[in-house]
């Protein structure tokens, strides 16, 4: 067979030589099924039970996972946290007519899309932004209470925690504030980046430990399983399990990859016995990386959890994901995009994310100490050619003027756009109501959102990111035009 005609196959044959500081952080020790092609099987093997109906081996695996991850109930996902967010949102619409949710500004697009699809109204909770580390800061409990006072008819508060940068919200304090306001309001945590938190006290508490009602996790990100696999966990005090199962049955594929499910099962088993040890080893490796960087790089690349600025966010967070190394390049003229590209092209090192002023490294289970040293050597050699500066202009908060609520509900904006929508040059869209959403990917947090007015900050930020080599996800990724009302 001529494989050069199969681009994905060809690409996968060549990814072996890279040092990967990125997802999926696959746990090498998990029990593996030897031959994927021989052992792939479907629901026709009915004696195994049904994933969609939560029966047989699937029901059993879900039950074991709930116990290990501190939940009353768990379901596995083969469509990442993206799919889980759709299921959770559907569950809300089965429970409430016209539900309304409060969300943090760093929410992933899957929550906003699910909300739009299902007609769930969302309002933002006030959030701050750290331009140096290009990071939205989780809200304080007081900010959540303010939002609840403004929107007392809220059915659920959704936090995205930990953030992509690794900042964990004060979930248990926020749960107290919400339940004190109204015990029936659910606290849902998009914990895509926190599936490893549960196993050690060296990391912030997991959402389940902190008393949240529901947590959705991308176990493939830092929890050890194969890409695409994740989990939904919940406590039954304020969640109707029948409705969650109903939403799951509506959404879940009838042909899941049993290998993805097996990987979740295997990781659960491994973590139950060795979770603490294996995750604390990740933290040691990340500390070693930060230590070497601190010693070798002059002027220092600033490290988020090491910087003086970290004190400024302390009141907003319950802790930091120490397996992450978020570096700010404030002392250099170059961007994170440039350094990320040099690392991959010249040194075969892939980072989790590059930004205008940052590079984010994820310490994965597969990285060795010699990979860490190789990366530091690469960064030291790159830093010799960088231009030092004391006056780098940081791009201000791109979300600054975004309103808490839309001018027109986003799903209505999309619909009326069919008749009164028009395409205009992006620079002329400031002050107009957007009829589409535009984001930088990663992280996948919408910068322009349908139904909201486009602001000058939005446009400046997107244009700068585009110019510097960032990836724009939009109808027109060239950013020449935008769809507005
Ligand atoms: C906060 C957050 N939620 C959800 C997702 C989507 O997760 P998945 O890729 O598992 O679908 C991401 C992806 O990066 C994310 O950052």
Q: How far is the CA of 442 from the centre of ligand 1 (A)?
A: 10
Q: How far is the CA of 230 from the centre of ligand 1 (A)?
A: 10
Ligand 1: which atom is nearest the Cα of residue 230?
A: 10
Ligand 1: which atom is nearest the Cα of residue 218?
A: 10
Confidence of residue 3 (pLDDT cuts 50, 70, 90): low
For ligand 1, residues with CB inside 6 Å are 80-82, 108, 110, 160, 164, 190, 192, 218, 230, 443-444
Pick from 78, 89, 108, 471 the residue to mutate for probing ligand 1's pocket: most ligand atoms within 8 Å of its CB: 108
CATH top-level class of 410-484: alpha beta
The pLDDT of residue 16: 84
Residue 320 tokens, joined: 């930091």
Residue 216 tokens, joined: 């959705």
Residue 279 tokens, joined: 């995750």
Pick from 23, 78, 80, 81 the residue to mutate for probing ligand 1's pocket: most ligand atoms within 8 Å of its CB: 81
Nearest CA to ligand 1 atom 7: 81
Chain centre distance of CA 124 = 17
Nearest CA to 188 out of 52, 88, 97, 94 is that of 88
The pLDDT of residue 400: 72
CATH top-level class of 271-383: alpha beta
pLDDT at 199 over 60: yes
The pLDDT of residue 431: 94
Calpha distance 375→343 (Å, rounded):
8
pLDDT at 2 over 70: no
Question: Mean pLDDT over residues 185-207, rounded?
Answer: 98
Q: Mind listing the pLDDT tens digit for each residue in 155-181?
A: 999 999 999 999 999 999 999 999 999
Confidence of residue 453 (pLDDT cuts 50, 70, 90): very high
Confidence of residue 402 (pLDDT cuts 50, 70, 90): low
Q: How far is the CA of 353 from the centre of ligand 1 (A)?
A: 13
Pick from 25, 77, 82, 86 the residue to mutate for probing ligand 1's pocket: most ligand atoms within 8 Å of its CB: 82
Numbered ranges of CATH 3.90.1150.10 in the chain: 271-383
List CB contacts of 24: < 8 A, sequence separation 6 or more.
220, 221, 225, 226, 227
Q: Mind listing the pLDDT tens digit for each residue in 64-74?
A: 999 999 999 99
Q: How far is the CA of 388 from the centre of ligand 1 (A)?
A: 35
Q: How far is the CA of 219 from the centre of ligand 1 (A)?
A: 10
Pick from 165, 167, 192, 227 the residue to mutate for probing ligand 1's pocket: most ligand atoms within 8 Å of its CB: 192
Of the given ranges (86-90, 134-138, 259-263, 467-471), which has the lowest mean pLDDT? 467-471
Numbered ranges of CATH 3.90.105.10 in the chain: 410-484
Numbered ranges of CATH 3.40.640.10 in the chain: 50-267
Question: Mean pLDDT over residues 245-269, rounded?
Answer: 98
Ligand 1: which atom is nearest the Cα of residue 79?
A: 11
Q: How far is the CA of 67 from the centre of ligand 1 (A)?
A: 24
Q: How far is the CA of 194 from the centre of ligand 1 (A)?
A: 11
Say whether domain 50-267 belongs to CATH 3.40.640.10: yes
Q: How far is the CA of 162 from the centre of ligand 1 (A)?
A: 11
Q: How far is the CA of 4 from the centre of ligand 1 (A)?
A: 31
Question: Mean pLDDT over residues 77-81, rounded?
Answer: 98
Question: Mean pLDDT over residues 344-348, rounded?
Answer: 96
Q: Mind listing the pLDDT tens digit for each residue in 17-36?
A: 899 999 999 999 999 998 99
Nearest CA to ligand 1 atom 9: 80
Q: How far is the CA of 440 from the centre of ligand 1 (A)?
A: 14
Nearest CA to 354 out of 329, 373, 382 is that of 329
pLDDT at 1 over 60: no
Q: Mind listing the pLDDT tens digit for each residue in 32-58?
A: 998 999 999 999 999 999 999 999 999
The pLDDT of residue 17: 86
Residue that wins the pLDDT comparison between 469 and 276: 276
């Amino acid at each position: 067979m001529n494989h050069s005609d199969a681009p994905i196959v060809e690409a996968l044959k060549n990814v072996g030589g890279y040092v990967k500081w990125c997802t999926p952080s696959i746990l090498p020790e998990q029990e593996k099924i030897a031959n994927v092609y021989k052992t792939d099987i479907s629901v026709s093997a009915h004696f195994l039970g049904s994933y969609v109906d939560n029966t047989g081996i699937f029901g059993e695996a879900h039950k074991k996972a709930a116990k290990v991850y501190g939940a009353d109930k768990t379901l596995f996902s083969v469509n990442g946290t993206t799919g889980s967010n759709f299921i959770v949102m559907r569950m809300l619409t089965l429970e409430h007519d016209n539900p309304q949710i409060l969300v943090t500004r760093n929410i992933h697009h899957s929550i906003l899309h699910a909300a739009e699809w299902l007609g769930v109204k969302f309002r933002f909770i006030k959030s701050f932004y750290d331009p140096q580390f290009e990071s939205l800061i989780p809200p304080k409990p007081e900010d959540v209470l303010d939002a609840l006072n403004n929107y007392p008819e809220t059915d659920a508060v959704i936090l995205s925690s930990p953030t992509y940068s690794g900042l964990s919200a004060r979930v248990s304090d926020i749960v107290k504030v919400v339940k004190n306001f109204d015990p029936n309001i659910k606290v849902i945590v998009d914990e895509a980046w926190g599936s490893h938190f549960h196993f050690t006290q060296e990391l912030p508490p997991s959402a389940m430990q902190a008393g949240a009602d529901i947590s959705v996790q991308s176990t493939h990100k830092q929890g050890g399983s194969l890409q695409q696999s994740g989990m939904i966990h919940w406590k039954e005090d304020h969640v109707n399990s029948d409705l969650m199962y109903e939403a799951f049955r509506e959404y879940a594929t009838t042909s899941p990859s049993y290998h993805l499910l097996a990987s979740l099962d295997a990781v659960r088993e491994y973590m139950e016995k060795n979770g603490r040890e294996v995750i604390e080893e990740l933290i040691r490796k990340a500390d070693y990386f930060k230590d070497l960087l601190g010693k070798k790089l002059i002027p220092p690349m600033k490290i988020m959890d090491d910087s003086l600025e970290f004190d400024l966010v302390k009141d907003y967070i319950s802790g930091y994901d120490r397996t992450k190394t978020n570096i700010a390049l404030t002392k250099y003229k170059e961007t994170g995009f440039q350094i990320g590209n040099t690392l991959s092209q010249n040194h075969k090192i892939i980072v989790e994310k590059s930004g205008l002023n940052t590079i984010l490294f994820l310490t994965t289970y597969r990285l060795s100490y010699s990979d860490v040293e190789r990366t530091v050597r690469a960064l030291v050699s790159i830093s010799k050619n960088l231009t030092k500066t004391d006056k780098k202009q940081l791009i201000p908060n791109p979300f600054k003027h975004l309103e808490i609520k839309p001018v027109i509900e986003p799903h209505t904006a999309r619909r009326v756009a069919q008749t009164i929508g028009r395409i205009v040059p992006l620079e002329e869209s400031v002050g107009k109501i957007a009829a589409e959403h535009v984001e930088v990917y990663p992280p996948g947090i919408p910068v322009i959102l349908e139904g909201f007015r486009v602001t000058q900050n939005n446009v400046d930020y997107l244009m700068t990111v585009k110019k510097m080599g960032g990836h724009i996800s939009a109808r027109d990724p060239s950013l020449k035009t935008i769809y507005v009302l």
